[in-house]
Structure 1
Amino acid sequence: MTRPNEDIRTQMLDGGLAITIDRVERGNMLTLPMIAALAQAVRDAPGDAKFVHLSGAGADFCRGRDPQGSPAAATALDIRAALIEPILSLYDALSDCPVPVVCSVRGAARGLGAALTTASDVTIAAESARFDLPEMEKDLPPTLAISAMMRKVPPKALALMVYGMEPIDAREALALGLVSKVVREDELVPVTEHLLGTLRARSREAIVAVKDYQRAAPELGVRSGRDLAANLLASVLSSKAR
């Protein structure tokens, strides 16, 4: 059982759950305990939730993983268990969450932070948002971040982010698929609240069906994808008829 972490704040909202990364003094860099707590918070979303809202406190969304506290050099299996599996578990939590994860981002989203914004189902970015994958500066291949981003970002654009290591602004992130919408800084909260209000007004069955389909359909062939679409829609229509 993952222990609560004071740098990962949760708050019950009408219709959903808010999760805030709150380590402002370090630009919301994620330690390994924070990564585990964040994954657990997503998994612990109430059974009647219609959304999970993810944001960062302060000026930056998340400046990546904090290298302080990394496990000492050991075997590859030890490093995978101590360092890599918690990050993969977080990506799985976002994907497996039955309802959409809505991310609000301002300021820096670096490395793991950029991966989280891309892996979320809907991301609203302020014009101040900047995204980069700087891991290669230390000759570390950002393969985990790539695994979370590759279904949404064109391969050549993602390769340039990795090899070029140059930040991209919110507008370019929108064009490449890292975010869903770009707004002025003062619009970030009201635009996000409007989206959450729209989700509150919808049935959870319909919301879950959309998430299920978007998660599964890319792995299916055309016929299987259509069958799944039909089955999910029929299930929702049947629930409304009862």
Structure 2
Amino acid sequence: MELRVETTGKVLEITLCRGEAGNALTAGMTEGIAAAVSAPPPEVTVILLRAEGADFCTGRAPVMPPKDARLTANDLRVKISDPVLAFYEALRSAPVPVVARVQGRAAGVGCALAALADVAVAERAAVFSVPEMNHDIAPTLVMDALVDRVPRAVLARLVLTRQAVSAAEAQAMGLVGVVAEDLDAAVAGVVEGLSANSPAVVRAVKAFLKRAPEASGATRRELAALLNAAATAERFR
């Protein structure tokens, strides 16, 4: 089993189960995660993304075709680029908050997963990196996941230097929300807090977080008013 998806009460838990392979994501895993986060049960108020083993996620399982394959740039886009970008968009668009529990290495796609979570909780020993250029791969797909999460200078540093950064540095950069000595306790605190809320409230907050940054002042205020009113109205049903 590469991926486990379970719902307990208000928590949808997604577990990466390839610990022996650094939890490198296969195509089947990305499809399963995207499907789960796109349509959680209506009672769910938080999605917890976690991983078995020593590392959170060390990237993707190899997907490059052999060098003698006669493929065009469009073939490669359809086979590799578009599915990854759709996966990232599914995480961005999850209707409820996504909490990532990050231990060990978060490299490439793993770094993107942490950044795309609404709250990434990392152990102090966790490290984050974007090492694709070490393999002469243009990391523009990972960059798409990070570009609206961190400043340009931070993104350039991660991609161009390929140097791993500590959890504390990642928090200062904006990649991580919480750095913890006791990872499980910190994750439980965030998840339990969100579990205490109603689905209407967490969905309103998530909708605002997704749409407000790109909205004008007037549109943002209208969005805030509508979401607040809709969530509050659920109390009177």
Task: Report the counterpart of residue 211 of structure 1 in structure 2.
Answer: 206
Where structure 1 has 5 or more consecutive residues not aligned to the other structure, the ranges are: 1-5
Task: Report the counterpart of residue 148 of structure 1 in structure 2.
Answer: 145
- From 42, 59, 65, the counterpart of 1:47: 42
- From 170, 173, 184, the counterpart of 1:189: 184
Measured after TM superposition, the shift of residue 233 of structure 1 is: 0.8
Task: State the AA in 1 paired with 2:15.
Answer: T
Deviates more, 1:24-33 or 1:212-221: 24-33
Aligned length: 234
CA distance in 2, matches of 1:22, 1:98: 24
Task: Report the counterpart of residue 3 of structure 1 in structure 2.
Answer: none
Task: State the AA in 1 paired with 2:55.
Answer: D
Verify the 8 A CA contact 2:42 2:199 in the aligned structure 1. Answer: no
Structure 1-normalised TM-score?
Answer: 0.93
Verify the 8 A CA contact 2:101 2:122 in the aligned structure 1. Answer: yes
CA deviation digits over 1:27-66, x for unaligned, max 9? 1111222222222232242122111100111110000012
1:220 is aligned to 2:237:
no
Task: State the AA in 2 paired with 1:191.
Answer: A
- SS of match in other structure, 2:40: coil
- SS of match in other structure, 2:100: strand
CA distance in 2, matches of 1:71, 1:206: 45
Task: Report the counterpart of residue 85 of structure 2 in structure 1.
Answer: 88
Aligned 1:161-172 pairs, distance under 5 A: 161-172=158-169
What percentage of aligned pairs have identical amino acids? 38
Structure 2-normalised TM-score?
Answer: 0.95
List, as ranges, runs of 4+ consecutive aligned residues in structure 1 with deviation greater than 3 Å: 69-73
Aligned Cα root-mean-square deviation (Å)? 1.3
Task: Report the counterpart of residue 157 of structure 2 in structure 1.
Answer: 160
Task: Report the counterpart of residue 125 of structure 2 in structure 1.
Answer: 128
Verify the 8 A CA contact 2:11 2:45 in the aligned structure 1. Answer: yes
1:108 is aligned to 2:105:
yes
CA distance in 1, matches of 2:23, 2:177: 22
- From 27, 32, 36, the counterpart of 2:22: 27
CA deviation digits over 1:81-140, x for unaligned, max 9? 111122112111111210001100010000000001001111100011100000111222
- From 24, 37, 58, the counterpart of 2:53: 58
Verify the 8 A CA contact 1:71 1:82 in the aligned structure 2. Answer: no
- SS of match in other structure, 2:61: coil
Task: State the AA in 1 paired with 2:64.
Answer: S
- SS of match in other structure, 1:131: strand
CA distance in 1, matches of 2:65, 2:10: 39
CA distance in 2, matches of 1:101, 1:48: 15
CA deviation digits over 1:152-192, x for unaligned, max 9? 111101101100000000000000010101001xx111211
- From 167, 192, 198, the counterpart of 2:193: 198
CA distance in 1, matches of 2:234, 2:19: 44
Where structure 2 has 5 or more consecutive residues not aligned to the other structure, the ranges are: none
Task: State the AA in 2 paired with 1:24.
Answer: G
Task: State the AA in 1 paired with 2:54.
Answer: A
CA distance in 2, matches of 1:33, 1:203: 32
